[in-house]
């Protein structure tokens, strides 16, 4: 998630041309990954979970498109 560098902003906020604003990309945010075993292959449970999630997403979109 992007964050403002407040120390640089506070150090330059009194400049005649305005403060320097720098956006840092915080790379420590976790990402969602499918469950995998030690060799990096998807597990059967991870595959079933992804199929169920995509099925629920598709079902919700179809419901909204045709019934609402």
User: Is pLDDT at 20 greater than 70 in this prediction?
Assistant: yes
Torsion on CA atoms 38, 42, 44, 58, rounded to nearest 10: 150
CA dihedral (51, 54, 57, 63) positive or negative: negative
- Which residues does residue 36 pair with via DSSP β-bridges, in sequence order? 42
**For position 2, what pLDDT does the model report?**
62
d(Cα 3, Cα 9) in Å, to the nearest integer?
12
Which is more confidently placed, 37 or 34? Answer: 37
Specify the pLDDT at position 37.
83
């Amino acid at each position: 998630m992007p964050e403002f560098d407040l120390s640089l902003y506070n150090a330059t906020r009194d400049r005649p041309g305005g403060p320097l604003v720098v956006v840092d990309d915080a790379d420590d945010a976790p990402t969602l990954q499918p469950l995998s075993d030690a060799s990096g292959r998807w597990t059967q449970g991870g595959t079933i979970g992804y199929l169920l999630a995509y099925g629920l997403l598709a079902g919700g979109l179809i419901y909204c498109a045709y019934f609402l």
